[in-house]
Amino acid sequence: MDLNDFKHKLSVKVRFNEVDMLGVCNNAVYINFFEEGRIQYLKDLKIFTGNNLFPGNELYFMVRNEINYRAHSRYDDKLNIYTRVSYIKNSSFGFEHIIEKAKTKEIVVDGTGVMAHVNPQTRKSSPLPERFYQLITQYESNVKIIKTK
């Protein structure tokens, strides 16, 4: 992952309740930070709208998360969460995340995730709407489109 590929950034501070007895941000918290980055990314691109997030009849499930721990952060550290969509398939798409310390630019964690578009009634995968492809490709300069017919 190259930080230069990331346009979207969200800044957060490590809160007291996110620090474990070792004095560092608990490893599970970074998955929540990834989620905050993803949700804000999709809201900023108008893919998620309003209070219920999902426009019309659309529904998205997170189906995979992977994380690599590089360093630790502590209470009150300011972190930058970088998020991007790296590829889009027929009914799913992949995220990449990098979290760095704002002050030192040290990478704390990086990771990937997959989100699937599903039919709300059947809860089975469903093709992504064309609008989704348009919004992502307008924003991301380096996204792979992997569609099969």
Cα-Cα-Cα-Cα dihedral sign, residues 39, 40, 42, 46: positive
Contact 117, 58 (CB under 8 A): yes
Contacts of 2 (CB under 8 A, 6+ apart): none
Helices and strands (H and E) in the chain: how many: 2, 6
DSSP 128: P
CATH code: domain of residue 109: 3.10.129.10
Instruction: Show the CA angle centred on residue 27, arms to residues 32 and 68, nearest 5°.
Output: 90
What's the pLDDT band for 52 if we cut at 50, 70, 90?
Answer: low
User: Residue 99's domain spans which residues?
Assistant: 3-145
H or E element that contains 129: none
> Mind listing the pLDDT tens digit for each residue in 68-105?
999 999 999 999 999 999 999 999 999 999 999 999 99
**How many domains in the chain?**
1
pTM of the model: 0.92
Of the ranges 21-35, 45-59, 62-76, 104-118, which one carries the lowest mean pLDDT score?
45-59
Q: Which of 40, 58, 17 has its CA nearest to residue 97?
A: 40
